[in-house]
Amino acid sequence: MMKRFSIIIISLLFIVSAGAQRTFVVLTGISNYGIENANLGNTTKDVKELKQIFDQQNATVSMLTSSNVTHDNIVNKLKAVVLLATEKDNIIFYFSGHGDTGGFISYGLKMFKYSELIEILSKAKTKNVFCFIDACMSGSVSSLLGSTYSYGSNEAKIVFMMSSRADELSSENSWLGNGYFTNAMAKGLRGKADTDGDKKVTLGELFNYVYKDVTNRTHGAKYQQHPQLIGPKGSFNTVLTSW
């Protein structure tokens, strides 16, 4: 009798687990581009710090750094996640490194266009798709987005939180040990963005915190940054972390 009861309990737990919301996270960052004057100081640290945060949230995390952040590797990771994610799940993509108008720079100095990122992620079943890009001119993605932010036949919703406006550079700070944007993002996800005190950090709360932190820290600096949140407002209440 006990054995049969145990089997039933295990079966029920499996069913509940199978229906639970999951978060798939793809973290990418390049410190070493293989070219001395193109290398950065803190981007690999950015990725590792965020991995610790999402690991604590029991997310399924994939991490690529430096020479592994090739165009093809990013494509393969994202396509794999898109296939795995169900309607209930969250997908998070993060990149830290160089950027230019219309995309970010993968290893080998190859442009990964935002249009390609949109094309891949639009095929996800879930409407909870979030991209965080810490790169120069990352706000230029706005030129590709329509007013409905709907892509593909299943109308997947993609939200972009970008480190700077389309005409701004994004900077890292050796004293902070991160890019300004990622430093604020990490602090916010750990709880500092939780303005209502419910022990949860939503996308909207995170952006408000990141925007204030980054604009304050870069005010009067050579390269001022104004983070951008681009996407449907219906996604702003999505919980990213609990603490």
Rounded to two decimals, what is the model's pTM? Answer: 0.89
On the question of pLDDT at 9 being above 50, the answer is no
How far apart (Å, rounded) are the C-alpha atoms in residues 43 and 29? 5
Q: How far apart are CA 46 and CA 29, in angstroms?
A: 7
Dist. CA 171–CA 222, nearest whole Å: 10
CA atoms within 13 A on the CB side of 103: 13
Identity of the highest mean pLDDT range in 11-20, 43-52, 144-153: 43-52
Biggest CA–CA distance in the chain, Å, is: 73
Q: Return the minimum-mean-pLDDT range out of 91-95, 109-113, 218-222.
A: 218-222
For residue range 172-223, list pLDDT tens digits in order.
877 676 789 999 999 999 999 999 999 999 999 999 999 999 999 999 878 8
In whole angstroms, what is the distance from residue 115 CA to residue 143 CA? Answer: 10
Mean pLDDT, residues 14-21 taken together: 56
The mean pLDDT of 32-50, rounded to a whole number, is 89
The Cα 11–Cα 13 span in angstroms is 5
Whose CA is closest to 28, among 66, 58, 79, 76?
66
Asked if pLDDT for residue 110 goes beyond 70, the answer is: yes
pLDDT category, 167, cuts 50, 70, 90? very high
What percentage of the chain has pLDDT greater than the value 70? 86
Predicted confidence at residue 1, as pLDDT, reads 43
Residue 11 has pLDDT above 60, yes or no: no
What pLDDT sits at residue 6?
Answer: 42
Could you tell me which of 229, 20, 22, 43 has the C-alpha nearest to residue 145? 229
Neighbouring residues of 42: CB distance < 8 A, sequence distance ≥ 6: 31, 172, 173, 174, 176, 177, 178, 179
Q: What is the pLDDT of residue 144?
A: 82
